[in-house]
Amino acid sequence: MYVLVALGIIGGKCCREQLLGRWADVFLLGMSGTLTGLYFAHRKQRDLERSKRAQYWREQVNSACIGCGMILIALSRMLSTKI
């Protein structure tokens, strides 16, 4: 019996398990390569969209500050007038 184990006839890995392991490795390598490639390929578009969002938020904040400033000016004028 020890001779059969030493020769790999019994007690070794099944060929199907080894083949499945190779396919899993190839699949994972392909998926990680695809994700990495897409990340670098769309970097310019992602940066462009990020700058558009930043500009939008700056405009919103500036217009809100102007609106608040106008309200404060109107309130101060109302309070400063004598009745």
The per-residue pLDDT for 24 is: 84
User: What does the CA dihedral 34, 37, 38, 42 come to, rounded to 10 degrees?
Assistant: 180
Is the pLDDT at 16 greater than 60? The verdict is no
Q: Tokens for 4?
A: 């059969």
If phi > 0 it is left, if psi is from -120 to 50 it is alpha, else beta; for residue 81 that is beta
User: In this structure, are residues 5 and 11 in contact, taking their beta carbons and an 8 Å threshold?
Assistant: yes
Mean pLDDT of the chain: 79
The per-residue pLDDT for 2 is: 63
pLDDT per residue over 56-77, tens digit each? 988 887 777 776 777 777 777 7
Is the pLDDT at 20 greater than 80? The verdict is no
The per-residue pLDDT for 28 is: 93
